């Protein structure tokens, strides 16, 4: 087929439309090809004639031809002109607009995907962009970040070609070395650099545990209340989650069953999340003994142990004996900043290869430049100095929070633990702590409903307030606003 007359070829182009003439002409041609009015093999008029007829420049026409040639819609034969690619399959109007477009149902999801879709629909009414608002749990004080030192180290590494290629998924060796020393001295973790795997935050480390330690329907013991995102990670493997009772000092070890078929236990012994209890050394030993006896993995999430204000935090469970069934997890999300997305895990020697391989499949390597910066930041002593500074700063904020809560919420809210960290859990007598959280967010303050950390039905209601990212006035106005909301009988 050959188009000779310009009548056959008469798109309505207008310089007044928002799209460029080039775009309009491109779309017009594509439509004609796709609906079959310009079938494969059709010869198009010369670009000069099209340009004349449409009142557009010849350049515009040839640009469109070049683009469609590159995309495989058009071909040119030397001396013969431009053709609709004869190899182009016939894409008819019926196929495009009919069969495919009428197919409203997409191919199916996995069971996990279906569950997740349902859960996200259920919670869609709760979605308020509360990330990083004052009082959002887990967000550090970015204003106190040592920007100058960080930038100086960063400058030193930006031009290094060695940091631009591929590396080992296990993580940048100097960072693993620096972490080995830090974890041994500060957290009593027994390991060498070969046992450390750098992950994309603690979350990826938890997901790797779910992938490699669990089979469908395996029993996982979870602190109740506990870290919701860990719960979700274990659900990816369709594990059966069982709640673990929490007392003022974390897991109630005495209540652990004499017989269990559990495969794994997830715990935050150094600062129970979110209530704040600290598991004593004797209870840690008992827990370890129980896990070793029953062949249960302990996932020890040490997410914010750096921020204990009174003395050194208790040493990790991982390091309490030479060989423990413990996978130790940590993160720079609280100590440096969450967007860095660097966490780490310490695994038994013989599993390093397996975890590294799984990480390769899941995400590949972690970005090298940030790892190199953190490595120097630790090994040059800046990390320890930064932690010391932040500990003092957070302690001041903690004291201020205690004062404000006493002054404004004395009969309305009760702080649950007298311990440290970056957040404070308040027990509040309210109709719905989820509605309270929503109302607080509408006033510009982040928080998380205490009930959301519990298995159903929740045992307590209240709010978890992340005070680390707040400044003085925000704490004052936030707590006063919270008082008004709690007094509002509808919440």
Q: Give contact residues for ligand PLP (rule: CB under 6 A).
A: 138, 201-203, 227, 268, 273, 301, 303, 331, 333, 338, 343
The least CB distance from residue 477 to ligand PLP, in Å, is: 24
The least CB distance from residue 226 to ligand PLP, in Å, is: 8
Helix boundaries (H) for 325-471: 352-362, 368-379, 382-409, 433-442
Dihedral sign, Cα of residue 333, residue 336, residue 337, residue 339? negative
The least CB distance from residue 343 to ligand PLP, in Å, is: 4
- Nearest to ligand PLP of 206, 405 (CB atom): 206
The least CB distance from residue 315 to ligand PLP, in Å, is: 19
- Nearest to ligand PLP of 302, 433 (CB atom): 302
- Nearest to ligand PLP of 301, 433 (CB atom): 301
Residues in the chain: 491
- Nearest to ligand PLP of 65, 227 (CB atom): 227
- Nearest to ligand PLP of 276, 325 (CB atom): 276
The SS3 call for residue 237 is coil
The least CB distance from residue 166 to ligand PLP, in Å, is: 23
Could you tell me which of 159, 199, 141 has the C-alpha nearest to residue 374? 199
Rg (CA), the chain: 30
Helix (H) or strand (E) holding 109: none
List the beta strands (DSSP E) in 248-323. Answer: 250-251, 262-267, 297-301
Could you tell me which of 462, 466, 379 has the C-alpha nearest to residue 178? 379
Contact assessment for residue 75 and residue 83, using Cβ atoms and an 8 Å cutoff = yes
- Nearest to ligand PLP of 201, 446 (CB atom): 201
In angstroms, the first-to-last Cα distance of the chain is 73
Q: Return the DSSP state at 455.
A: S
- Nearest to ligand PLP of 268, 316 (CB atom): 268
- Nearest to ligand PLP of 29, 340 (CB atom): 340
- Nearest to ligand PLP of 325, 343 (CB atom): 343
The least CB distance from residue 454 to ligand PLP, in Å, is: 15
The least CB distance from residue 378 to ligand PLP, in Å, is: 16
The least CB distance from residue 401 to ligand PLP, in Å, is: 18
> Cα–chain-centroid distance for residue 193?
25
- Nearest to ligand PLP of 58, 232 (CB atom): 232
Contacts by 486-491, CB closer than 8 A, 24 or more apart: 486/409, 486/412, 486/413, 486/428, 486/430, 486/436, 487/412, 488/439, 490/431, 491/430, 491/431, 491/432, 491/435, 491/436, 491/439
CB nearest ligand PLP: which residue? 201
Place of tokens 């999300």: 333
The least CB distance from residue 132 to ligand PLP, in Å, is: 12
Beta bridge partners of 74: 84
- Nearest to ligand PLP of 291, 299 (CB atom): 299
CA atoms of 224 and 243, how far apart (whole Å):
5
The least CB distance from residue 202 to ligand PLP, in Å, is: 3
CA atoms of 438 and 424, how far apart (whole Å):
18
The least CB distance from residue 409 to ligand PLP, in Å, is: 23
């Amino acid at each position: 087929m050959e188009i000779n007359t310009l009548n056959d070829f008469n798109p309505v182009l207008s310089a007044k439309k928002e799209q460029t003439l080039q775009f309009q002409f491109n779309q017009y041609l594509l439509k004609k090809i796709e609906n079959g009015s310009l079938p494969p093999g059709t010869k198009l008029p010369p670009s000069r004639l099209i340009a004349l007829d449409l009142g557009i420049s010849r350049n515009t026409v040839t640009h469109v031809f070049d683009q469609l040639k590159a995309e495989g819609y058009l071909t040119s034969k030397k001396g013969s002109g431009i053709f609709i690619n004869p190899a182009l399959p016939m894409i008819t109007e019926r196929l495009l607009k009919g069969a495919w477009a009428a197919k409203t149902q997409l191919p199916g999801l996995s069971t996990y995907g279906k569950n997740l879709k349902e859960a996200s629909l259920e919670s869609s009414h709760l979605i308020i962009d509360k990330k990083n608002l004052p009082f959002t749990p887990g967000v550090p004080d970015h204003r106190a970040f040592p920007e100058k030192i960080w930038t100086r180290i960063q400058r030193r590494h930006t031009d290094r070609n060695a940091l631009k290629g591929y590396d080992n998924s296990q993580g940048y060796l100097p960072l693993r070395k620096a972490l080995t020393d830090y974890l041994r001295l500060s957290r009593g973790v027994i390991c060498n650099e070969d046992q450390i795997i750098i992950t994309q935050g603690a979350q990826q480390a938890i997901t790797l545990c779910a992938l490699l330690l669990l089979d469908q329907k395996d029993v996982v013991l979870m602190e109740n209340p506990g870290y919701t995102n860990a719960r979700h990670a274990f659900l990816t493997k369709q594990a059966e989650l069982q709640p673990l009772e929490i007392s003022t000092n974390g897991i109630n070890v005495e209540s652990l069953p004499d017989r269990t078929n559990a495969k794994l236990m997830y715990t935050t012994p150094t600062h129970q999340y979110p209530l704040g209890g600290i598991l004593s050394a004797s209870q840690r030993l008992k827990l370890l003994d129980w896990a070793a006896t029953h062949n249960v993995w302990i996932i020890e999430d040490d997410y914010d142990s750096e921020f204990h204000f009174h003395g050194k935090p208790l040493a990790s469970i991982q390091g309490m004996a030479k060989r423990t069934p413990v996978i130790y997890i940590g993160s720079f999300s609280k100590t440096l900043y969450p967007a860095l997305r660097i966490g780490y895990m310490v695994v038994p020697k013989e599993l390093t290869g397996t975890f590294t391989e799984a990480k390769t499949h899941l995400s590949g390597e972690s970005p090298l430049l940030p790892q190199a910066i953190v490595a120097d930041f630790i090994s040059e002593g800046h990390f320890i100095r930064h932690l010391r500074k932040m500990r003092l700063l957070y302690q001041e904020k903690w004291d201020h929070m205690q004062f404000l809560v006493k002054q404004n919420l004395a009969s309305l809210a009760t702080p649950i633990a007298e311990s440290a960290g970056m957040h404070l859990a308040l027990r509040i007598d309210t109709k719905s702590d989820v509605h309270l959280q929503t109302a607080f967010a509408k006033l510009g303050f982040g928080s998380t409903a205490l009930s959301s950390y519990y298995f159903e039905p929740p045992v307590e209601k209240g709010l978890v307030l992340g005070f680390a990212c707040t400044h003085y006035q925000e704490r004052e106005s936030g707590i006063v606003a919270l008082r008004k909301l709690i007094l509002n009988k509808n919440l």
